[in-house]
């Protein structure tokens, strides 16, 4: 069984591990932003939707520790073929930087190495290697795909604030959508949440709504699901699920958020559930009208939003 590194958004490690275990693979280690999985080829052909990216392990040696001398003494047996680039990360304090790791590994792997030091862009035709020093192990792994997993083939267009697809997939998983359910995103933007939900639950009915025609046009370019311009006010009591990420901060001030919360209550069917990605400030407005059943704090693109499951 090949070992695979699955990289995740910070905060989604546990949910991604559940998805992978449910598909019959053994998760052997969970750390910040990373799972180590004993995987069959099926994991590569049906990759997890909650994963940010996935790499097949080609080598694993003890983490060389803090010093540059330790890093330089690492001996690797893996070999790269053709043009390749390396991207490295580590936990903890080190007396070297990511480029030192990348160049060291790049030189050791043979092939035609393209360094990212000094901002150089590697050529489009290359293999991509990932190095992670997690405090115990130095993992050297290769992406078996041309593009990162989070880059979805369906995504032709985005809008300001478009969601990272693996985060949308995690929210869709938490929504527990059954066949026939009516699922509404009242702030649909380019449709990311509903498209990812449909991939998990294809037999539900999806409706995306946004007040901006440009957003609805982007959603329609991405998917044949139903999207319309406007608001959700007319859908009284009809939504089994509301799956959404409203804008945060200046684009929808905290004070302006309360009417939307009241609208969600009207739109939601009696046994309905909301799964939303909210800012910390928006989350503070939920009490006492909403019960938060689950919450996942994320760290994504420098922001710290929270996925909440509510009713």
Ligand X SMILES: C[S@@+](CC[C@H](N)C(=O)[O-])C[C@H]1O[C@@H](n2cnc3c(N)ncnc32)[C@H](O)[C@@H]1O
Q: How far is the CB of 249 from ligand X (least distance, A)?
A: 10
Indicate whether 199 belongs to the interface with ligand X (CB under 6 A): no
Indicate whether 187 belongs to the interface with ligand X (CB under 6 A): yes
Among 34, 192, 279, 283, indicate the residue that binds ligand X (CB under 6 A). 192
Q: How far is the CB of 229 from ligand X (least distance, A)?
A: 9
Indicate whether 196 belongs to the interface with ligand X (CB under 6 A): no
Q: How far is the CB of 161 from ligand X (least distance, A)?
A: 3
Indicate whether 116 belongs to the interface with ligand X (CB under 6 A): no
Among 211, 262, 293, 304, indicate the residue that binds ligand X (CB under 6 A). 211
C-alpha distances in angstroms, 216 versus 86, 152, 198? 38, 19, 17
Q: How far is the CB of 216 from ligand X (least distance, A)?
A: 9
Indicate whether 212 belongs to the interface with ligand X (CB under 6 A): yes
> Counting Cβ atoms within 10 Å, is residue 221 exposed (0-12), middle (13-18) or buried (19+)?
middle
Q: How far is the CB of 252 from ligand X (least distance, A)?
A: 5
Distance CA 225, CA 205 (A): 9
Q: Which residues contact 68 (CB under 8 A, 6 or more apart)?
A: 95, 96, 100
Indicate whether 171 belongs to the interface with ligand X (CB under 6 A): no
The torsion angle over the Cα atoms of residues 11, 53, 158 and 297, rounded to 10 degrees, is 0
- Secondary structure (DSSP) of 156-222: ----TTPPPHHHHHHHHHHT-PPTT-EEEETT-TTSHHHHHHHHH-TTSEEEEEES-HHHHHHHHHH
Number of Cβ atoms within 10 Å of the Cβ of 38: 13
Distance CA 259, CA 231 (A): 12
Q: 151, 174 in Cβ contact below 8 A?
A: no
Among 4, 16, 190, 201, indicate the residue that binds ligand X (CB under 6 A). 190
Number of Cβ atoms within 10 Å of the Cβ of 69: 11
Cβ nearer to ligand X, comparing 5 with 216: 216
Indicate whether 37 belongs to the interface with ligand X (CB under 6 A): no
Distance CA 174, CA 212 (A): 27
Indicate whether 309 belongs to the interface with ligand X (CB under 6 A): no
Cβ nearer to ligand X, comparing 90 with 187: 187
Indicate whether 65 belongs to the interface with ligand X (CB under 6 A): no
Indicate whether 279 belongs to the interface with ligand X (CB under 6 A): no
Indicate whether 103 belongs to the interface with ligand X (CB under 6 A): no
Q: Indicate the helix (H) or strand (E) that contains 307.
A: strand 306-310
Among 8, 34, 104, 162, indicate the residue that binds ligand X (CB under 6 A). 162
User: Which 3 state secondary structure label does DSSP give 279?
Assistant: coil
Indicate whether 47 belongs to the interface with ligand X (CB under 6 A): no
Indicate whether 282 belongs to the interface with ligand X (CB under 6 A): no
Options 4-12, 36-44, 154-162, 261-269: segment touching ligand X (CB under 6 A): 154-162
Task: State which residue has the least CB distance to ligand X.
Answer: 189
Within residues 220-259, the interface with ligand X by CB under 6 A covers 231, 245-247, 252
Angle between helices 213-222 and 192-200 (to 10 degrees): 30
Options 40-48, 51-59, 197-205, 208-216: segment touching ligand X (CB under 6 A): 208-216
Cβ nearer to ligand X, comparing 27 with 190: 190
> Counting Cβ atoms within 10 Å, is residue 41 exposed (0-12), middle (13-18) or buried (19+)?
exposed
**Footprint of ligand X (CB under 6 A):** 159, 161-163, 187, 189-190, 192-193, 210-212, 215, 231, 245-247, 252
């Amino acid at each position: 069984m090949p070992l695979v590194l699955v990289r995740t958004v910070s905060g989604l490690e546990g949910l991604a591990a559940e998805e992978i275990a449910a598909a019959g693979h053994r998760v052997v280690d969970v750390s910040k932003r990373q799972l180590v999985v004993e995987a069959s080829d099926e994991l590569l052909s049906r990759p997890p939707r909650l994963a940010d990216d996935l790499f097949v392990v080609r080598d694993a040696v003890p983490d060389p520790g803090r010093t540059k001398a330790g890093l330089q003494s690492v001996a690797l047996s893996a070999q790269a073929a053709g043009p390749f680039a390396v991207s490295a990360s580590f936990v903890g304090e080190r007396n070297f930087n990511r480029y030192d790791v990348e160049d060291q590994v790049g030189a050791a792997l043979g092939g035609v190495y393209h360094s990212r030091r000094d901002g150089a862009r590697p050529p489009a035709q290359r293999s991509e290697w990932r190095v992670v020093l997690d405090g115990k192990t130095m993992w050297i792994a290769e992406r078996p795909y041309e593009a990162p997993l989070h880059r979805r083939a369906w995504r032709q267009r985005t809008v300001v604030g478009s969601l990272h697809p693996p985060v949308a997939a995690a929210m869709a998983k938490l929504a527990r959508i059954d066949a026939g359910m009516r699922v509404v995103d009242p702030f649909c933007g380019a449709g990311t949440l509903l498209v990812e939900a449909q991939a998990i639950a294809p037999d539900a009915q999806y409706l995306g709504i946004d007040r901006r025609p440009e957003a609805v046009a982007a959603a329609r370019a991405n998917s044949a699901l139903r999207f319309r311009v406007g608001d959700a006010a007319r859908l009284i009591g009809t939504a089994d699920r509301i799956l959404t990420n409203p804008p945060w901060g200046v684009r929808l001030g905290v004070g302006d958020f309360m009417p939307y919360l009241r609208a969600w209550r009207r739109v939601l069917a009696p046994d309905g559930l909301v799964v939303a990605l909210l800012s910390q400030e928006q989350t503070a407005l939920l009490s006492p009208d909403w019960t938060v059943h689950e919450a996942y704090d994320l760290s994504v693109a420098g922001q710290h939003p929270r996925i909440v499951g509510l009713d």
